[in-house]
């Protein structure tokens, strides 16, 4: 595996969840879009989603131990989870934080990302393209 794509709480509800913000495509569609983009870039990916902060942290530990690159959408955990932030600090590969929506243009509590400081970069506001762009950034860095 080259890249772990990790998704936090509620992202499994894509398509049914506030479609005016997150779009009408489903989580399965997101996985398919990432799988296609990764194949085009020659990257082997694994896409995971959890409602659990602890499980997400365990996956970040796994990424730290194996040295894989990570694309992370921590969802609401972005805004308050210092435990996820500390796990992000352990990542040795490239870490790209992604958001479907532009968190800077939404409610004030979403303007803060406690995790972003440990990412190499953040891509937000482009829907599924946020993930495609993150894969392209990782492919470019891997050379």
Catalogue the long-range contacts made by 38-43 (C-beta closer than 8 Å, 24 or more residues apart).
38/2, 38/3, 38/135, 41/135, 41/136, 41/139, 42/139, 43/2, 43/3, 43/135, 43/138, 43/139, 43/142
Whether 111 is a known active-site residue: answer no
**74 or 92: CB nearest ligand DQA:** 74
CB of 67 to ligand DQA, least distance (A): 25
Rounded-to-integer distance, Cα 99 and Cα 61, Å: 21
Which of 27, 61, 99, 131 is catalytic? The answer is 99
CB of 135 to ligand DQA, least distance (A): 16
Whether 99 is a known active-site residue: answer yes
**10 or 35: CB nearest ligand DQA:** 10
Percentage helix, strand, coil, to 5, in the chain?
Answer: 50, 15, 35
CB of 127 to ligand DQA, least distance (A): 9
**7 or 94: CB nearest ligand DQA:** 7
Which of 22, 79, 80, 118 is catalytic? The answer is 22
Interface residue list for ligand DQA (CB under 6 A): 10, 73, 75-76, 78, 99-101, 103, 110
Enzyme catalytic residues = 22, 99
């Amino acid at each position: 595996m080259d890249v772990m794509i990790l998704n936090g709480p509620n992202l499994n509800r894509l398509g049914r969840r506030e479609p005016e913000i997150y779009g009408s495509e489903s989580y399965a569609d997101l996985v398919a879009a990432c799988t296609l983009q990764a194949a085009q870039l020659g990257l082997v990916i694994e896409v995971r989603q959890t409602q659990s902060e602890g499980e997400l942290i365990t996956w970040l530990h796994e990424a730290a131990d194996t040295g894989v690159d990570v694309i992370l959408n921590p969802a609401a955990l972005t805004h308050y989870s210092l435990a996820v932030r500390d796990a992000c600090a352990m990542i040795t590969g490239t870490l790209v934080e992604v958001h479907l929506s532009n968190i800077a243009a939404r409610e004030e509590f979403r303007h803060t990302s406690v995790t972003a400081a440990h990412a190499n970069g953040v891509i937000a506001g482009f829907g599924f393209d946020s993930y495609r762009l993150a894969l392209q950034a990782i492919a470019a860095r891997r050379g």
